[in-house]
Structure 1
Amino acid sequence: MFAVTGATGQLGRLVLAALLQRTAANQVVALVRDPAKAADLAGQGVAVRPFDYDAPERLVEPLAGVTRLLFISSDTPDQRIAQHRAVVDAAARAGVELIAYTSIIHADANPISLAESHRETERAIAASGVPYAILRNGWYNENYLIGAEAAIAHGALLGSTGDGGISGAARADYAEAAAVILTEPLAPNRVYELAGDEAFTLSDVAAALGEASGRTVEYRDLPESGYREALIGAGLPDGFAAALAEYSAKAAGGILADGSRTLSGLIGRPTETIRATVLRALVGASAAGAAR
């Protein structure tokens, strides 16, 4: 059986949809913190089981019968290492035959602070003895939809990435790759650097926002400290603003770019461009609103 942790999250739901295109619902397990949020999945015949990263003593039983596990990383980076070790330990004790883990692009060399917990998790998985597939996901194109309305309103997209390339792809592209890796007889103990086919810059994101809105939007590059202060001024908590500014500044070196095209090779089609993602989200939303 195939199981997905965080199955009601944005990535998890897309993975389940892709899995259900490849296998029967009775072969799929949705592991979720709150089963009430997965009633629709249960209605499709998917087994829904409680799975809370913060309850390590209750993680083994929900993995009963699971042979291949997609382990989606926790959304609480400050607690992630302890949570992830608990999941890896439970998978080993439950006899899971493959752990596929969603890591970060170029985790071994990535200077972004977020990468450290991913490196630690990769090490824990390798040490567990359970066969594995490390899915080093690049940035999601959808990350750049956050704050899009403000950028359009002010005619400026802010950041600290300069001309650094970002090989992003749509979240659905990464989800489909995860479903392929879970269901295909691929060799275990492999690391997949997953990224979009073509790198883009934040100037390209600004251009796409301008095209979608019919307004002029320019990219305005700021020092990391200046971007952090701008985010705080926009109402973000200090810690979150500092993290976003750090990610943006360290991406200036190109660590989020990757030309391997491993992702499109897995899914058998080109990845979605940043322009396509922005137009799909913003123009599509505008058309839907006009139709109501």
Structure 2
Amino acid sequence: MSTTTSTETLVITGASGQLGRLVLAELRSRAPNAKLVGLVRDPAKAPDLAALGVELRVADYENPASLVAALRGADKLLLISSSEIGRRLPQHRNVIDAAKAAGVKLLAYTSILRADTSPMNLAVEHKATEDYLRASGLPHVLLRNGWYTENYTGSVGAALQHGVVLGAAGEGRIASAARADYAAAAAVVLASTAATQAGKVYELAGDSAYTLSELAAEIARQSGKPVAYKNLSEAEYKTSLEGFGLPPAFAGLLAESDVKAAAGSLYDDGKALSRLIGRLTVTLTEAVAAALK
């Protein structure tokens, strides 16, 4: 594992989220001398980060003044994209403006695979953020994250219960990677010198790809229970996601993404992610085994 002796101040937005927590844990190893700062809405919800030695600062994507104050003294910043679909661009603009005002030397942004050409609706706000970041003149690096394997393995319990994996991706191949793989990539970039990273665009995806039929077969193989893949129309899949409690707008985006995956939008064979992190990405077999635990 590569490490740095940097004593810079490294700031992570959305620090109490699943990705943010993993990035901070990676940075503890990769940049042991750095000052780690996590931006959170409520520090009381992140005592584990404080115990790691992370300085927690209160900030809200919707509150520019809070961001300006929280980014004081920041050398590098990881902007983890907001989860609020439809509000992402103005929120991201607030962070970018605050980073520029703070004199941040490098901003890394978690975008989406091939954001500039992706036909997925999810890519629209990411592309607009990339454009704004480019126009800002702020030194930056784009971490174009592909699909998270957990987007599918998170439903293993339901698949076992009903004997079916639902989706709308047909036989499209999905080169997903584990959340921990993307976290490692972000940590490597932040632990590197700004000069070596500024201007880079990383198309990040898993080393191997699979279809949802293959995912269902892997769950069946490891669990010893019958599980098959059922391919739905976009509308049917959206309805089923809503049935699992997802908000209609988000369910619609995921269903549309699955349909676009059928045409290859979530496939990539460049292996940039494993090269960046210096190890193979988590395999589907490993991810299913972890989910079954």
Q: Place the TM-score, normalised by the shorter chain, in its bin.
A: over 0.9
Cα distance in structure 2, aligned partners of 1:134 and 1:176: 15
Q: Does 1:103 align with 2:111?
A: yes
Q: Does 1:140 align with 2:148?
A: yes
The 1:261–1:55 alpha-carbon spacing in structure 2 relative to 1, beyond 3 Å, is same
Q: Secondary structure at the match of 1:96?
A: coil
The answer for the alignment partner of 2:228 in structure 1 is 218
From 119, 135, 157, the equivalent of 1:149 is: 157
**Greater mean deviation of Cα atoms: 31-40 or 115-124:** 31-40
The answer for the alignment partner of 1:190 in structure 2 is 200
Contact 2:10–2:34 (Cα < 8 Å) also in 1: no
Contact 2:156–2:291 (Cα < 8 Å) also in 1: no
Cα distance in structure 1, aligned partners of 2:275 and 2:155: 31
From 264, 287, 290, the equivalent of 1:277 is: 287
Q: Does 1:177 align with 2:185?
A: yes
From 249, 255, 260, the equivalent of 1:245 is: 255
The 1:147–1:65 alpha-carbon spacing in structure 2 relative to 1, beyond 3 Å, is same
Residue 16 (structure 1) shift: 0.2
**Greater mean deviation of Cα atoms: 80-89 or 138-147:** 138-147
Residue 22 (structure 1) shift: 1.5
TM-score scaled by length of structure 2: 0.92
Contact 2:140–2:197 (Cα < 8 Å) also in 1: no
The answer for the alignment partner of 1:16 in structure 2 is 24
The 1:79–1:269 alpha-carbon spacing in structure 2 relative to 1, beyond 3 Å, is same
The answer for the alignment partner of 1:127 in structure 2 is 135
Cα distance in structure 2, aligned partners of 1:156 and 1:137: 27
Deviations 1:17-63 (CA, angstroms, capped at 9, x unpaired): 00000223651111111111222222232211111101112211111
Residue type of the alignment partner of 1:124 = Y
Cα distance in structure 1, aligned partners of 2:197 and 2:253: 36
Residue 226 (structure 1) shift: 2.2
Residue 72 (structure 1) shift: 0.2
TM-score scaled by length of structure 1: 0.93
Residue type of the alignment partner of 1:129 = G
Deviations 1:126-177 (CA, angstroms, capped at 9, x unpaired): 1111110000001111111232222222211111101111111111011001
Residue type of the alignment partner of 1:227 = Y
How big is the alpha-carbon RMSD for the aligned residues of Structure 1 and Structure 2? 1.4
From 237, 262, 277, the equivalent of 2:272 is: 262
Cα distance in structure 2, aligned partners of 1:40 and 1:227: 37
Residue 241 (structure 1) shift: 2.7
Residue 96 (structure 1) shift: 0.3
From 63, 77, 80, the equivalent of 1:72 is: 80
The 1:34–1:225 alpha-carbon spacing in structure 2 relative to 1, beyond 3 Å, is same
Cα distance in structure 2, aligned partners of 1:24 and 1:230: 45
Q: Secondary structure at the match of 1:59?
A: helix
Residue type of the alignment partner of 1:228 = K
Q: Does 1:162 align with 2:134?
A: no
Cα distance in structure 2, aligned partners of 1:190 and 1:152: 42
The 1:38–1:205 alpha-carbon spacing in structure 2 relative to 1, beyond 3 Å, is same
**Greater mean deviation of Cα atoms: 12-21 or 106-115:** 106-115
Q: How many residues are aligned here?
A: 283
**Greater mean deviation of Cα atoms: 145-154 or 191-200:** 145-154
Cα distance in structure 1, aligned partners of 2:253 and 2:138: 33
Q: Does 1:32 align with 2:18?
A: no
Cα distance in structure 2, aligned partners of 1:36 and 1:98: 29
Residue 230 (structure 1) shift: 3.0
The answer for the alignment partner of 2:6 in structure 1 is none
**Greater mean deviation of Cα atoms: 88-97 or 181-190:** 181-190
Cα distance in structure 2, aligned partners of 1:235 and 1:49: 32
